[in-house]
Amino acid sequence: MPGNLLKNPNGDEDLEHWELTENGGDQWGTGDMPEDSRHTFNNESITKYFCTSFELCIKRQVIDLLAEGYDPENLDIIQPAVNVEDWFSSRTDCGCIYMLTVTLLDEHLEVIEEFKPEEVTIDPNCDDCSWKKVSHTFTDYGPGLRFIAFQHGGKDTKYWKGRYGVRVTGSSVTLDI
């Protein structure tokens, strides 16, 4: 079975494989580490990140577990742990808002369980702007899991033209089989 089920989790292929559900301001973009993120990342193999603009930017992927080779009977019986990880940071000259929602879905795309932490606002005048990890593990969610929807994004807090909003990278969704 595959490791990370998200395709293009770091922006190496620009915005390929992502559905841009909100693409406001100067729209989604990608950048090279560390350049204008101004923070080194803890994994040298990750060299790019996604960046948002002054209006809301949200992107999503829906993972079809059967298309990825998972057996529906095994998914129902084993109910493997679903591990989610995402990394975000802010520039040091402009604050940002970060949001994440990960949803376990059944065959009809109905919600089984959802992880939606409170949105994070980073103010560079008083907050650490370095890369931060958010993670969650779904367990004991019951039978029926067929899809996983991963959605994240945000915007800047100063409404500056360009891409001064939240940076995201290192996103992953894995199953423990």
For the stretch 157-170, pLDDT in tens is 999 999 999 999 99
Whether the predicted model's global pTM rises above the 0.85 cut: yes
What residues does each domain of the chain span?
19-165
Instruction: Please tell me the predicted confidence (pLDDT) of residue 139.
Output: 97
Question: Over the chain, what is the mean pLDDT?
Answer: 93
**What pLDDT digit, counting tens, does each position of 131-141 carry?**
999 999 999 99
Residue 126, pLDDT > 70, answer yes
Pair of tokens at residue 67? 């298309």
Of residues 5 and 33, the one with the higher pLDDT is 5
Does the domain at 19-165 match CATH 2.60.120.260? Answer given as yes
- Which is more confidently placed, 45 or 94? 94
Positive or negative, the CA dihedral 69, 74, 79, 81 is: negative
For β-strands 29-32 and 81-89, DSSP reports them as unpaired
CA atoms within 13 A on the CB side of 52: 33
